[in-house]
């Protein structure tokens, strides 16, 4: 078949690569603000490789949001896509564009990890044939599931698990929840377990413990914690424990004895702290069901382009189902 192109598009950056022989080639990151449309960004990417749009046979883009229907509007940048016009612009066959939810791509990307692209957080052995949880604090909190279908095929189940209620496990967490509620009203998991959530959590600590907040960004909270600041360290520790509680809830809901993958841009910034934190304790703190969590492995993903890899997996599976695109 002709070349295929995959993309992982966020609010600020669009990552593009060629997908050939089930591998990524020529990864490039472009600023979405530099291009009026995704078609123009793709054309620019191809020109840099001395390729024309006619070289493409299919395109798969991982995007934030629901992907049904003819039109897709990005929620975090100015781009939008009309499927038929997109295909005409790039000379693709009808139906040559596959859009997938960004966390669908992220989950599928877990099937492509190499050993050096993940760090063990909680020891254990994944049970074959069982679902896995993929959870990622970033700009928000992404949560999804990865289901093995057999024969080397996979299905990702995206959802809105970042918007579940933030769980309370002890009186201290109840006090912090009350402080968050005073700031926000309804308290979602994402309100504590995201980049901005880390700052919200710091302010909650200050409110409960009677401190004046002096740190003004998530990066400042993380830097202070890693430098040994007592308050910031307690905030980051609570972040890890709460992430464990939410991940553990998902394991129980899904029967996800296939393991837990921690993804996203936040946690790798303090990977060493995270590996020795109370995350595993929070994961397994499930009362009479705590034993169910024993032996479930957890990995922190450090791969550079898991979303692009997952877009490639999604495209590969679609191509196998649609031979007319070959």
Binding positions are: 7-12
Buried/exposed 101-113: b ≥16 CB within 10 Å, e otherwise = bbbbbbbbbbbbb
How far is Cα 127 from Cα 120, in angstroms, rounded to an integer? 16
Q: What is the DSSP letter of 109?
A: H
Beta bridge partners of 144: 134, 158
Mark the binding-site residues for ATP, compressed into ranges: 7-12
Beta strands in 44-96 (DSSP E): 56-63, 71-73, 80-82
Buried/exposed 119-158: b ≥16 CB within 10 Å, e otherwise = bebbebebbeebbbbbbbbbbbbbbbbbbbeeeeebebbb
Sequence-distant (≥ 6) Cβ neighbours of residue 298 within 8 angstroms: 120, 121, 122, 124, 247, 259, 260, 261, 262, 279, 280, 283
How far is Cα 196 from Cα 274, in angstroms, rounded to an integer? 18
């Amino acid at each position: 078949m002709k070349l295929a192109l995959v993309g992982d598009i966020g609010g600020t950056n669009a990552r593009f690569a060629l997908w050939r022989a089930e591998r990524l080639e020529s990864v490039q990151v472009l600023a979405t603000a530099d291009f009026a449309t995704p078609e123009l960004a793709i054309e620019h990417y191809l020109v840099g490789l001395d390729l024309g749009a006619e070289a493409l046979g299919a395109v798969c883009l991982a995007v934030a949001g629901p992907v049904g229907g003819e039109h897709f509007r990005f929620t975090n940048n100015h781009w939008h896509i009309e499927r038929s016009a997109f295909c005409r612009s790039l000379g693709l066959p009808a139906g040559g564009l596959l859009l997938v939810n960004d966390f669908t791509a992220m989950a599928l990307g877990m099937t492509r990890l190499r050993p050096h692209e993940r760090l063990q957080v909680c020891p254990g052995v994944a049970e074959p044939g069982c679902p896995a949880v993929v959870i990622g604090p970033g700009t928000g909190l992404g949560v999804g599931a990865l289901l093995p279908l057999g024969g080397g095929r996979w299905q990702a189940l995206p959802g809105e698990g970042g918007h579940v209620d933030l769980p309370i496990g002890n009186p201290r967490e109840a006090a912090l929840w009350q402080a968050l509620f005073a700031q926000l009203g309804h308290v979602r998991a994402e309100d504590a377990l995201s980049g901005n959530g880390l700052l919200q959590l710091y302010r909650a600590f200050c409110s409960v413990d009677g401190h004046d907040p002096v740190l003004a960004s998530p990066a400042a909270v993380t830097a202070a914690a890693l430098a040994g600041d007592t308050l910031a360290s307690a905030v980051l520790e609570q972040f890890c424990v709460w992430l464990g509680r939410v991940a553990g809830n998902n394991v129980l809901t899904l029967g996800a004895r296939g393991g837990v993958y921690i993804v996203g841009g936040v946690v790798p910034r303090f990977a060493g702290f995270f590996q020795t934190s109370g995350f595993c304790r929070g994961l397994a703190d499930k009362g009479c069901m705590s034993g169910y969590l024993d032996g479930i492995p957890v990995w922190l993903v450090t791969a550079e382009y898991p979303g692009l890899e997952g877009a490639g997996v999604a495209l590969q599976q679609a191509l196998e189902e649609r031979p007319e695109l070959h």
